[in-house]
Structure 1
């Protein structure tokens, strides 16, 4: 009888194990079904994104070609502006040099003018004295 009782307990334990394993397998099956649906949805979304990305890349390449063409057509204008800036800089340097030369010339001229004024004043004084001396005689 104890052997029968042990057999019954073992059968019940085996039955419980089978029930729990079957519940576990059912849940795993449902989970795997959801995973398959999710993967299918993700695959479709990735395909759609891939097509959109290809379109965007094609548009970006066309835009880049257009911008490069426009930049190439604008380059001569920038070169001309650079040359104009250099010309203005050269003109400023030449003006500074001319101003410096004229300033030095004016300095010499002002010395000469001052000396001539002193000489003229001295000559006027000399002439006035001579005229006075001639009038007194």
Structure 2
């Protein structure tokens, strides 16, 4: 009986070893495939990093160019703002002039400024005086 028990144990051990060999063989294939995948991903990441570096360089160049052009255009916006302020001042001055003229002509029967008075007053502001006289 002892020999039969040893034979069963030996057969069971042989089956276990064969099963472990098959499992280890499959695990080694999975590990090899994982290594290949890591190598491919690593090379792809290197390529992507190189391309991203090129894009960043081009973006920095473009940003420097845009900043230079904005600096060139900045005086134009300042001039437009000054012109806008001057026009606003002229508009306010003309309103004040009309108000003063309306106040001075309030005693008249018509109650409005005549076009002739307004034209003469405007002429005084816009006509250059002859300095030679």
Q: TM bucket by the smaller chain? A: 0.7 to 0.9
> 1:82: which partner in 2?
81
Q: Cα distance, 1:111 vs. partner?
A: 8.0
Quick check: 34-43 or 103-112, which moved more?
A: 103-112
> 2:41: which partner in 1?
42
Residues 1-137 of structure 1: pairs in structure 2 closer than 5 A: 1=1, 3-110=2-109
**Greater C-alpha radius of gyration:** 1
Report the TM-score, using the length of structure 2 for normalisation.
0.78
Cα distance change on mapping 1:37 and 1:111 into 2, 3 Å: closer
Report the TM-score, using the length of structure 1 for normalisation.
0.76
Q: Cα distance, 1:108 vs. partner?
A: 2.0
Higher relative contact order (CA 8 A, sep 6+): 2
| Residue ranges of structure 1 left out of the alignment (5+ in a row) | 113-137
Count of residues in Structure 1 that have an aligned counterpart in Structure 2: 111
